[in-house]
Amino acid sequence: MANYVEAFQDGLRAVEAANRAKHEVKEVFDELNKQLNMETNGKLRVVLRQFEVSELSWRRYENIFAPKPKQYYWAIAAFNPDAGEASMKELAQWSQDRAGYPCKITWAGTESICEDRIALEEALAELLRDPLVAETLVKVMKRECPEKAEEKPEDNKE
């Protein structure tokens, strides 16, 4: 006969392990943001966000052949807190196992499957080193808040 009590206890332990792993992932992003915040004077914040699948993305292309099209996907994104959510730009696609790890980061034709904290930290550092990602981050940092942008013509009046 199946031992349901043991299975239940296994499940509870799995929940704890998954929560620990998810918390660890959050800590990694917190540390990333802490360092970027200091370096950029608060002009850059990296977050996980859902994006709508675009018509031209390869996911959509594949979905021509697929009966269950996905409408949204998770991504690592960056925004300038001064400029608000309008400055949000996708950096890489993201997915995470129900157990917390592995986390999958996909960008520039590469899928990086991170099995633990060190691997995730390395993968995020590799992402930041990518020249196209760096270019996107610079653009995000240069975005200004809508009020400031409107104020500019006034500033020029003397």
Partner 1 sequence: MQISLAWWNTSLSPLGKPRATEQEKAFAVQVVRFLTEALGVDCLALGEVTAADLGDLLQESGLRDYAYHDGTLRFGRLQFDTGLIYRLTKLRVLHSLSIVTKRGNHSLKVANRVDLLAPDSRSPLHLFVSHWPSRLWCEENGANRHLLGIRLRDAVEEVSGLYERQPSTILMGDYNDEPFDSSLSGQLLAARDRKLVRKNPQLLYNPFWRHLGEQEPHIPGKPRESVCGTCHSRSGLTTRWHTFDQIMFSSAFLGSNEWELDERGTQIVRIPFPNGGVSSSRNIFDHYPVASVIYRETQHGKLC
Q: What residues line the site for partner 1 (CB under 8 A)?
A: 58, 61-63, 65-68, 102, 106, 109-116, 118-119, 122-123, 126
Integer CA distances (angstroms), 40 to 84, 96, 99, 145, in order: 16, 28, 33, 16
CB of 89: closest distance to partner 1 in angstroms?
21
Which of 40/93 has CB closer to partner 1?
Answer: 93
CB of 123: closest distance to partner 1 in angstroms?
6
Integer CA distances (angstroms), 111 to 20, 92, 93, 114, in order: 24, 10, 9, 10
CB of 119: closest distance to partner 1 in angstroms?
4
Which of 131/153 has CB closer to partner 1?
Answer: 131
Q: Is the separation of the CB atoms in 45 and 83 below 8 Å? A: no
